[in-house]
Amino acid sequence: MDQVRVKVTRLRPREDGDLSLPEYMTESSAGMDIPAAVAKDTILLPGEISLIPTGFAIALPEGFEAQIRPRSGLAAKFGLTVINSPGTIDADYRGEVKVALINLGPESYTIRRGDRVAQMVVGPVSRVWWDEVEKLPDTGRGSGGFGHTDQSGGTS
């Protein structure tokens, strides 16, 4: 398994020292769970969006990004998800990592200090150089999209 060293700093060491840094919850986890660094309980009403602080900032190596993704349990059980999923942390960003959460569930949801509210996956990025052409090469799929491979007749 590839490993990458990432510099991290706690932005409010005195207050946020009680929080863990993002961490893998199992040996094979792809994403690290991120705890909320809210100063007090934050209630998200149905349909409400809130920017949740994490209390840390990172310095990713050039050529890497961090993606902020929903936690599947929160999404499936409560409708709590990351509104800009996946959120991207670029290698040159040095501000606090924050999580833009939305409550898509039918009931209010309370976020408490230390609650694991999202996950972060760090990976390499590719740079693109455009090769402009008059016509793209043909494929069996062509321009079919938005469920065209669904053989059941349903929508996808």
| Domains of the chain: residue spans and CATH | 7-124 (2.70.40.10)
Parallel/antiparallel/unpaired status of strands 49-53 and 87-89: unpaired
Q: What is the mean pLDDT of residues 21-25?
A: 97
DSSP-based three-state secondary structure for 10 = strand
Is the four-CA dihedral 148, 150, 151, 155 of positive or negative sign? negative
* pLDDT at 150 > cutoff 80: no
Question: Does the structure show a pLDDT above 80 at 153?
Answer: no
**Are residues 122 and 4 in contact, defined by beta-carbon separation less than 8 angstroms?**
yes
Q: What is the pLDDT of residue 69?
A: 98
Q: Are 84 and 96 in contact (CB under 8 A)?
A: no
Rounded to whole angstroms, the Cα distance separating 37 from 52 reads 7
Would you state the pLDDT for residue 11?
Answer: 94
Q: Give the model's pLDDT for residue 145.
A: 80
pTM: 0.86
- Average of pLDDT values for 72-100? 97
pLDDT at residue 151 in the model = 63
Q: Are 79 and 105 in contact (CB under 8 A)?
A: yes
**What's the average model confidence in pLDDT over 134-150?**
83
Residue 31 predicted with pLDDT over 90:
yes
Query: pLDDT tens, 32-83?
Result: 999 999 999 999 999 999 999 999 999 999 999 999 999 999 999 999 999 9
Quick check: 55 and 11 in contact, CB under 8 A?
Answer: yes
CA 91 – CA 44 distance, rounded (Å): 30
Determine the 3-state secondary structure of 24 from DSSP.
coil
